[in-house]
Amino acid sequence: MVILTLNCGSSSAKYQVYDWDARDILAVGVVEKVTLGGSFINHKVKGKEEITHNHDCPTHVDAINLIIKFLTDKERGCISDMQVIGAVGHRVVHGGDKFIKSVIVDDAAMAAFSEMQDMSPLHNPANIMGIEAAKKVLPDIPHCAIMDTAWHQTMPPESFLYAVPYEWYENYSVRRYGFHGTSFLYTAKRAAVLLGQDPFKTNLIICHLGNGASVNAVKNGCSFDTSMGISPLEGLIMGTRSGDADPALPFYIMRKTGMSPQDVEAALNKKSGLLGITGQYTDRRDIQKAKLGGDKRALLSQDMEAHRVKKYIGAYQAVLGRVDAVVFTAGVGEFAFFMREKILQGLEDTGIVYDPRKNELSHTRNTETLISKPESKIPIYVIPTDEELVMTEDAHALMTGSYDIHTKFTYSFQDPGYVNKGRAEGLEAELKKNPLLESIIAKPK
C-alpha cells in the first residue's frame, strides 16, 4: 500500500508519499505561497534531484492538483497514477476533546473540526481547507485525520483544567488541549527504545522547539501535562506567538490603544514572540547571526526564550518526580545547539548535565544523539521527529483495521532494530564529511 500524507497550512501544502511494503519514502515536497500569488513547488523524488517549479495556486485545490501532477509525471514522478494510493493522511491541529486517536474522515469528523476553528484560528481553517480540497480532487480514496490534540487526552483534570468558572468547561469546553501530539508520540516511543525501557514505565520531558514550540511532561509513557493550552498560543515564546502572558494584558492594551479583541488576538499570535522582541526576526539562525553582530534585542530574545523553556523543565521535574530523560526535537531543538546550550546551562544541580562538545556536534536530522555527560543522572537526547511516519502508520492501520489508541498499538519505530532508510543513507553521507558525529550517536541500551 502507498500512503500520501498532507499537512496543509494557510498558504502551504506539505506532502510525503510512502511505500508501506518497502518501508520507504518515495517523494516529499511542499507547495508554498498558496493563495498569495507567486506560488511554487519544491519536489524531491528518491534518487533524483530536487525540483523547484513556479506555478500559481490561487486555492488549495490548485495546490493539490499540482502535487498530483508532479507525483504522476513520467519523468519527475514516483507513481504511475493516483489509483496506487491506498489512503491520504491529513494533519489536523485541533480535535478538541472529541478524539482520543486518529480517525477516518466522515461528515461528523469534519463538523467537529469546524467547531474547533475558533480555538485554533491559525491552523484548523487551513487543515479543513486541505481536507476538503483533497477530497474534491481524490474522492474515491479514503481520507484519515491525525490530530495533534489526541496524544494529550490522557492528561488528568489537575493538568488540563483552568481555574475559571467550572461551567466554562461544561458549556464551552474550556480546558488545556495541548498540541504537537504526533511529534511527542514519536519521540516518546523512540526515547523509550533508546533507554531500553518499557514505554509505559518511562517518564520524559520533551521539548519540541520550532517556530511553534511546546514542552510535554510524559508520565508512564502518556502525556501528563503540556505547555500549550486551549489554543497553540500558551506556553513557550515562539516565532510570532507570545506564549505565557498575564491574562489581564489584552484588556489593558485594548483600554490603552483602542484595539479590538480581534486586533489583540492577531498581535499575540502574529506579531509577538521573537518577532515582537527583536522587531524583525523569527528564524533562530537570523537571531544568532544578529546577536553575534552585537544586536542586543537579538540576545535578549534568546535569553527570554531559554529562560521560559528552562522554567518548564524545572516545573515538569517537580510534577513527574523521576525523570528518565530530557529530549529535544523539531527544527530548533534538532539544529540550534546554541539554544540548547542556553537552556541547559545551570541545570547541573537538578541532575541534567550537558556536554558542550557533544551538544555542538549535534545538528542533524539523520540520527539520534546523546549530548549529556556520563555523570549526568538524566540523559539528554536529541531525537529528530518524524510526524509524517506517525501519520502514515495511523492511516495504514486504519485501512487494515489494526489501529487503536497508542496504549494498545505498537508502531514500527518502537522496534530497537528500526531503520529509517532515507535517514540512514543521509547519515552515511554525513559521516564522511563529519566523522566525529559517530561519537555521539545514541544507541538502544
- Does the structure show a pLDDT above 90 at 47? no
Q: Can you name the residues that pair with 408 across neighbouring β-strands? A: none
Residue 404 catalytic?
Answer: no
Sheet containing 369-370: which strands, arranged edge to edge? 222-226, 213-219, 204-209, 325-329, 380-382, 369-370
- Does the structure show a pLDDT above 80 at 203? yes
- Position 110, amino acid: M
Phi, psi at residue 217, to the nearest 5°? -90, 120
Catalytic residue among 19, 62, 148, 386: 148
Quick one: pLDDT at residue 122? Answer: 67
Distance CA 250, CA 260 (A): 9
Mean per-residue pLDDT of the chain: 94
The three cell numbers of residue 371 are 549530548
Quick one: pLDDT at residue 143? Answer: 95
Q: Which of 33, 53, 34 is CA-nearest to residue 42?
A: 53
Q: Can you name the residues that pair with 208 across neighbouring β-strands? A: 214, 329
Q: Can 2-147 and 199-382 be said to share one CATH topology?
A: yes
Distance CA 53, CA 30 (A): 11
Q: Model confidence at 99, in pLDDT bands (50, 70, 90)?
A: confident
Distance CA 325, CA 372 (A): 10
| Rounded average pLDDT over 305-333 | 97
Question: What torsion, rounded to 10 degrees, do the Cα atoms 77, 411, 397, 113 define?
Answer: -90
Topology of 2-147 in CATH? Nucleotidyltransferase; domain 5 (3.30.420)
Quick one: pLDDT at residue 418? Answer: 94
* 273-298: pLDDT as tens digits: 999 999 999 999 999 999 999 999 99
Distance CA 133, CA 7 (A): 12
Quick one: pLDDT at residue 124? Answer: 75
Ranges 122-126, 260-264, 340-344, 356-360: which has the least confidence:
122-126
Phi, psi at residue 53, to the nearest 5°? -135, 130
| Rounded average pLDDT over 12-17 | 90
The CATH homologous superfamily of the domain defined by 199-382: ATPase, nucleotide binding domain (3.30.420.40)
What are the sequence ranges of the domains in the chain? 2-147, 199-382
* 114-173: pLDDT as tens digits: 887 777 676 777 788 888 888 888 899 999 999 999 999 999 999 999 999 999 999 999
- C-alpha 427: how far from chain center: 22
| Rounded average pLDDT over 236-259 | 97
40 near 65, Cβ under 8 Å?
A: no
- What proportion of the chain, given as a percentage, has pLDDT over 70? 99
